[in-house]
Chains A and B, each alone.
Chain A
Amino acid sequence: MESFQIMPGAGYGADNLTLYAWIGELQSAPHPSFNQNGLFRNSEFGRALGNTVKLSLIASLITAVFGQFFGYITTRGRGKWYGNAVEQLIFIPYLMPGVAFSAIYFSMFSQPRLGGLIPSLYGTFTLILLVSIVKHFPFASRSGSSNMMQISVELEEAATINGAGFWRRIRSIVIPLAKNGFLSGFLLSFISIAKELDLIAILMTPKNYTLSFLAFDYSKEAMPQVADAICIVIIVFILVTNRIADKFGGNVSKSM
């Protein structure tokens, strides 16, 4: 509701309500504390929305794919060295605070290394994408494990006996059966990445602003109404994506 107020905390009387935070123009600002256009008249918002959609969709898609793959390795390799190794390695990002984790990536990619083999990625969307993917591997892989545990090994063994090789088994048996679990894993990472802030804050440059960082920026500039409006947009974006995934069988409550 604060996004419709002129002065936060001054009540919800008609004289304190406005749509400025959404569609207002600077010359008609109802209060001097507003120093930028409303959300839908602000070019920064469009770019941040685009970045958020791009980042959350691409990162959660890649995370979910790898999560299922790691889940497959850890469940099928349970008790074997490679299954245990993957399970341990995958969990490391979970142990670190988001800021510390991005600081590692910040220093790793601040300048070209190994004679340019590892390029400098600071200021690029790729670095933010990379950090978001790796940080969310533990959740996605856990979701992948619980998904793969529901696919009986015997289903694969039956395919093996009928002559299916590894890729044929994955294509014809595992992927069709893992579809719903994949969507649930995707949603789990997606919701987290769409509202991510601390993880990517220190890697932010103006052209890579995401909605959550923009909201943070506005609240710093004493425009909490616009920041709130952005939060509502983020929630709507998450709900819409959730609804679409739900139509295809994804359910975030089944992903863990």
Chain B
Amino acid sequence: MSSHRVAGKGRIDTTRPVSFTFDGRRYSGAAGDTVASALLAHGVHLMGRSFKYHRPRGPVTAGSEEPNALIGTRRGPGRFEPNTRATVQEIWQGLETTSQNKYPSLKWDVGAVNDAGYMLFSAGFYYKTFMWPKSFWDKVYEPFIRAAAGLGVSPSEDDPDRYASRNMHCDVLVVGAGPTGLAAAHSAALAGAKVVLVDEHAEMGGALLSDPDVQIDGAGAWTWLASRLAELRALGVRTMTRTTAIGYYHQNLVGLCEKLTDHLPDLPADTPRERMWRVRAKRVVLAQGALEKPLVFHGNDRPGVMLAGSAQTYLNRFGVLVGKAPVVLTSHDSAWFAAFDLADAGAKVQAIVDTRDSVRDDLRAGASARGIEVRLSHTATGTSGRLRVKSLRVAPLRADQVGAATEIACDAVLMSGGWTPSLHLFSHTKGSLTWDDTQTTFLPKDTPEDCHIAGASRGLWGYEAALVDGDKAGREAAQALGLKIAAGRFEVAQDRTGSGVSHRELPSDRSPARSKAFVDFQNDVTAKDLRLAVREGMRSIEHVKRYTTNGMATDQGKMSNINGLNIAADALGKPQPQVGLTTFRPPYTPTTFGCFAGYHRGSHFEVTRKTPIDGWAEAHGAAFEPVGQWRRAWYFPQPGESMDDAVRRECRATRESVGIFDASTLGKIEVMGPGAVEFMNRMYTNPWTKLGIGRCRYGLLLGDDGYIRDDGVIGRLGQDRFHVTTTTGGAARVLNTMEDYLQTEWPDLDVWLTSTTEQWATVALNGPNAAALLAPLVEGVTLSDDDFPHMSCAECTVAGMPARLFRISFTGEVGFEVNVPAPMGLRLWELLWERGRQYGITPYGTEAMHVLRAEKGYIIVGQDTDGTVTPYDTGMSWAIGKKKPDFVGMRGLARPDLQAPGRKQLVGLLSEDRSKLEEGAQIVFDPNQPVPMKMVGHVTSSYDVGTSGRPIALALVEGGHDRMGEIVHIPMPDRTIAAKITPTVFVDPDNARLKL
């Protein structure tokens, strides 16, 4: 038996010992223990160091609101988690845990020097200290802050665990399985509703687990609990433990994080670590209960000082005495019951110190019967002890004057400053709150969601009140769904009702400037810091919070918000509701990224679209680049080749003989129907009426603002059928735009739009030998300039496959694009590859394609245009059907700004020193003007691996079309480059190479 374990107490199973390590030392506990309860059973309170001052800390709670006892847990390689709350983590055989924020050891920590310098590290310390000199930022301040900041140590290995996501629908979701939630689930289920009951703990029961002596319906609390749970399950209620409702979202969507394996010694092969549930509930009952408030006094953070209710939980649920000689310090009745329970279990309670001048007779009688000294009208002004509390310094209060202090020797201080209703999820609903002056707390008021809040979370106290209110909430939820049920009845004996008063800092004889009375334990914020923030001009509670970081730690101020508000309100001289409460945000407790990511990780993080020819490219050593969601072959390096070498070779081969290119990613939209021609006339700038069947045209798509949105070659396959191609990245957007106009502006047009991007594989052949290679395979079309000139298209057969053949060019060479059904794409490619050997066929990737098209001045939408570029700016007025009554963008092009002189226009640039310009580099006319210079444009495309014999670039330059031959300047970090403005076509300006 461990030193502080009480035989016969608790719900742990002492017949099943469990051993684990903490900072390398082995400890034993029992099945059902948390790390905190198991360590406390050995008398170990010191479990961590605080964040800022590195003060020694022990657990102050027994639940998920714990600010201090944060540990790292490890389960072999990859399975390390920092900042786990020792009060929540269940132990299992072999669990390794470590304390945090200490060096070299927990008991002797160098960083604790910060504690001695606490006068320096006050609120706003970082803002005030790290101001100057500016040069210190990079080298001194930032490395220091980075090293000091952060809780725990981030895991550095890949997470080997799996996480799942699920959806769930139910009639009533009940959050919290204490007496309120149990009653609510019961009445709703009895009425016939489909009920789900969730609780973050390993066991259901909430406060009942810590109060076994309460009698409900003639049975002990635990007996009643067991039978009620059995009844709920028999009624079909789905009960989920270790499941935290982390957030309440629109229209009753509640996110649940279910932890499935963190408590198991052996990981099951087929179970995810955590499961994220998205529950859409018709009604939600919030029964989250209340959280106990600490008292704010000097030294209230010393290991051994903890909440009285939590001490009661450690005793009754885990069979652990947190101290053998505790002193109770309280302003609320509830802590008296904690004192009684600990005394009955053998602790020598040193005293009950209550700030109030009178308490109920039954409580005083209880203390008297147990021989516990009672000190009313007393305050606490400090504690002593280094790694564990040794004494509490108390002093009488007379008319708010602090009298002579005395020391009470102790090994634990059990404090209670009253209870705060847990309003976190209620606040997520944008529910409004109302201030209750008697309880000095906010209570829930109205919520826009279909939500009920009951029990201690709306300020009720005592088991009978909780059961009755929960029963009512479940009944009301059922009634809202049209289900009826009579009110439940509860006989409660030995109920533990109570009330209390609320304090700011406890009155003290200590100078406030030298007082370390902690409000936020996790972020080391003291009452002094809050008052300082107000003195320095912070008026809003939101500013006070950010300046002091009160409530901004991983516990989100579960313990500190209300105390912080009370102190800030006092400093501001305003009532609390006028100061307001900071916003609660999801998640309720820290939640793993894995749980949010679910299945979306690794290769499932984002879709990777691959063409039918992707595998061939991979087998032939292609380097890939992402284009939208596609991965495209970028270039095909041969052994020993650099990227530049490869691209240069691919470009030359295509201009000299024949290159083969996978163009399958191009967006393809089938536009068909009696209104197809009119639709195309209205959508695209170009005229389509006179385009013959079997002919193609380069189409330009604008927005109604007149700017270029997309482009592509469009073939007319029939009177009422067009094969539209779009840019690879723009396909979905173009289809959406087309659908938008078709559905909402032109419902008169009888047109159907179908995405065919993935139905066709597209193989492009470019180069002087392209026709010779392809012609023998084509049936139904003669590949001559007479029969099938440039910009022709046809439905035919290629190598026995049904095909749509286009004679088009994005390289300036004779070019064909063969579309075959996607499953045949690879076969076509391999056939052309095989038969192309005689011509030295060369596969080329997107980089060579970019170079070849730039040499011809063909734009890439999104690279050479940026959403503010018109067809006139790119020198493409030829693409505009000037006789058409309207098209999308026609009126936009007539806007004054788009007609104004001095617009940036697309031109070619040749650097005078034959160096390669940098894409994105800014351009100026006069390099000698003072800084900041007037920038007149930028380089949009630039290559030095092409076939034109020198580096080329495209650029947008103010009034560029009228500046042919002029010199502009490109200032770079090391020099300024002069470049000459030229036309955009660098190779074959007469298009002679497009002819066979």
| A and B part of one assembly | no
User: Which residues of B line the A interface, CB within 8 A?
Assistant: none
